[in-house]
């Protein structure tokens, strides 16, 4: 291994990724190269070799900076599991590898979805170390583990798969609770380092936003289940001790994903969570997911997510016997009384709030408009007709997503 000085000017010029945000820049003092096997979480200075899927890198501020070949970037090594994008594992050397997430994850692609472009290629220059030549790793900057000194109500948002609408569902719950006067933490318990989900939760009113990178993980794929559980406990306890009444915990990917399945069986979640909100893509996924969660010992309070974009799919899912809510109803406070423990049960709404079309305005919670399912047009038609703008102006209290209900970085 070779050690050289890493100047402050070089660090400042490099585009530093979100995944490294907790690391103290003043500790970045050396560059380590040679015959080194990187570990998950190690910081690395790399050069952009060839642009592919990710042409922008999310900086620690959240801004997505354009990358050009030859740019130097500061990212960290980590595994990635994303059925809609890449599967990738940490390299066994400092050779050419891939940028597999816009939040700054360096790894080597194993597989990718057939609609994905090849990943952006990067050439590691060396691991970033401290003044003594020890590699800097995000785990060394995690929030300290602490015991909760005050109670907090914990609700879990989980789904059928990646892009089932989990994040928008979680953010909508946060918005509804915040509007009702509660202090809410938005927590992403598993996934791959990227700030988009946290920023959305923050924009929707979360007083505190945390994710697994705050617990020392660049990503949770291939991490031991007990370590992920301890990370989640640390995040929830941190939210409790900082005055939050509620913690909305989103667990990434779907129920069949190994780390998700393991975490849902954790003693901590089974004993401390008040309930689950399940984000589904379709009625069959909703039925199976709710059944599986019940078998694991979780109470499913409601179904939401991508399925609520289709009135017909929602009608099919009513056979589950579990209330369905659109994100817009959650934003309006549809579950606040139940989540706060002020109601015995959740009742299925007779009509559902959808943003597509408001043919008639009826009274509902928060005085928000309701529309009969039969009178709705599709989300896609709205985009094509350009008719969303007047609705946004007419109903500014509705939180309108920029695009889909969930996003992948």
- Asked if residues 215 and 232 have their Cβ atoms less than 8 Å apart, the reply is yes
Same domain, 130 and 157: no
Output Rg (C-alpha) for the chain, integer angstroms: 22
pLDDT in tens, 248-271: 999 999 999 999 999 999 999 999
Quick one: DSSP state of residue 117? P
170 and 306 fall within a common domain: yes
87 DSSP 8-state letter: E
What is the pLDDT, as a whole number, of residue 122?
A: 98
What is the tens place of the pLDDT at every residue in 7-42? 999 999 999 999 999 999 999 999 999 999 999 999
172-181: pLDDT as tens digits? 999 999 999 9
pLDDT per residue over 196-214, tens digit each? 999 999 999 999 999 999 9
Spatial separation of the C-alpha atoms in residues 26 and 222, rounded to whole Å: 30
| Full domain range(s) for residue 207 | 153-394
Mean pLDDT is lowest, of 133-137, 286-290, 341-345, 357-361, for 357-361
293 lies in a domain? yes
CA distances for 303 relative to 184, 187, 313, 367, angstroms: 21, 19, 12, 23
Claim to verify: residue 91 and residue 234 sit in the same structural domain: no
182, 216: one domain = yes
- DSSP3 helix / strand / coil % (the chain, rounded to 5): 30, 25, 40
Given the DSSP bridges, would you call strands 153-159 and 2-5 parallel, antiparallel or unpaired? unpaired
Query: Is residue 127 located within the same domain as residue 211?
Result: no
Asked if pLDDT for residue 392 goes beyond 70, the answer is: no
Q: What is the pLDDT of residues 46-90, one digit of tens each?
A: 999 999 999 999 999 999 999 999 999 999 999 999 999 999 999
Chain centroid to CA 389: how far?
A: 27
Among 180-194, 348-362, 387-401, which is the least confidently predicted range?
Answer: 348-362
Q: Is 32 in the same domain as 157? A: no
Do 360 and 376 meet the contact criterion of CB atoms below 8 Å apart? no
DSSP 3-state of 135: strand
Collapsing DSSP to helix, strand or coil, 112 comes out as strand
- How far is 236 from 242, CA to CA, in rounded Å? 10
pLDDT score of 3 more than 60: yes
Q: What percent of the chain has pLDDT over 70?
A: 83
Q: Are residues 178 and 46 in the same domain?
A: no
Which CATH number characterizes residue 308's domain? 3.40.50.300
Question: What's the pLDDT band for 350 if we cut at 50, 70, 90?
Answer: low
pTM passes above 0.95 = no
Asked if 32 and 76 count as a contact pair (C-beta separation under 8 A), the reply is no
| Beta bridge mates, 86 | 112
- Domains: count for the chain: 2
Q: What is the pLDDT of residues 226-237, one digit of tens each?
A: 999 999 999 999
Section 131-155 average pLDDT: 96
Q: Which residue has the higher pLDDT, 127 or 396?
A: 127
- Calculate the dihedral angle through the C-alpha atoms of 174, 180, 183, 185, rounding to the nearest 10 degrees: -10
Q: Which of 296, 340, 348 is nearest to 322 (CA)?
A: 348
For residue 198, give the H/E element and its range: helix 196-203
Task: List beta partners, residue 209.
Answer: 186
- Looking at the fold, whether 357 and 239 belong to one and the same domain comes out as yes
Q: Which of 108, 141, 174 is the last residue of a domain?
A: 141
**What percent of the chain has pLDDT above 90?**
83
Task: Name the more confident of 63 and 385.
Answer: 63
Structure tokens given for 357: 């079309």
Which helix (H) or strand (E) segment holds residue 368: the answer is: none
In this structure, what token pair is assigned to residue 231?
């990370």
pLDDT for 405 equals: 40
402 within domain boundaries: no
Residues 136 and 157 in one domain: no
- Mean pLDDT, residues 337-366 taken together: 50
Say what the pLDDT of residue 1 is. 85
């Amino acid at each position: 291994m070779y050690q050289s000085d890493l100047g402050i000017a070089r660090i400042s010029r490099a585009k530093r990724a979100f995944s490294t945000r907790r690391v103290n820049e003043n500790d970045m003092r050396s560059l380590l190269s040679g015959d080194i096997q990187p570990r998950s979480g190690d910081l690395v200075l790399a050069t952009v070799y060839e642009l592919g899927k990710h042409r922008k890198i999310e900086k620690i501020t959240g801004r997505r900076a354009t990358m050009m070949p030859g740019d130097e970037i500061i990212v960290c090594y980590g595994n990635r599991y994303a059925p809609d994008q890449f599967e990738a594992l940490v390299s066994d050397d400092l050779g050419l590898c891939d940028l597999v997430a816009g939040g700054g994850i360096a790894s080597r692609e194993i597989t990718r979805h057939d609609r994905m472009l090849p990943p952006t290629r990067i050439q590691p220059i060396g691991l970033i170390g401290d003044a003594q030549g020890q590699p800097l790793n995000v785990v060394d900057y995690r929030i300290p583990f602490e015991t909760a000194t005050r109670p907090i109500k914990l609700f879990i948002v989980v789904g059928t798969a990646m892009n089932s609408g989990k994040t928008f569902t979680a953010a909508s719950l946060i918005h509804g609770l915040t509007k009702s006067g509660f202090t809410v933490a938005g927590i992403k318990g598993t996934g791959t380092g990227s700030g988009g989900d946290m920023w959305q939760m923050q924009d929707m009113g979360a007083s505190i936003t945390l994710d697994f990178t705050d617990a020392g993980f660049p990503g949770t794929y291939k991490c031991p289940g007990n370590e992920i559980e301890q990370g989640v406990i640390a995040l929830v306890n941190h939210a409790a001790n900082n005055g939050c009444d509620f913690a909305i915990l989103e667990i990434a990917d779907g129920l069949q994903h190994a780390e998700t399945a393991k975490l849902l069986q954790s003693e901590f979640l089974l004993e401390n969570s008040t309930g689950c909100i399940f984000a589904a893509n379709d009625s069959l996924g909703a039925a199976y997911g709710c059944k599986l969660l019940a078998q694991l010992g979780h109470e499913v309070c409601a179904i939401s997510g991508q399925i609520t974009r289709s009135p017909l799919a929602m009608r099919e899912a009513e056979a589950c016997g579990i209330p369905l809510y659109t994100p817009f109803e959650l934003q309006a406070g549809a579950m606040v009384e139940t989540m706060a423990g002020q109601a015995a049960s959740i009742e299925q709404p007779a009509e559902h709030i959808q943003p597509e079309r408001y043919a008639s305005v009826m009274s509902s919670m928060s005085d928000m408009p309701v529309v009969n399912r039969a009178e709705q047009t599709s989300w896609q038609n709205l985009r094509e007709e350009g008719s969303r703008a007047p609705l946004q102006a007419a109903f500014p209290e509705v939180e309108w997503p920029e695009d889909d209900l969930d996003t992948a970085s």
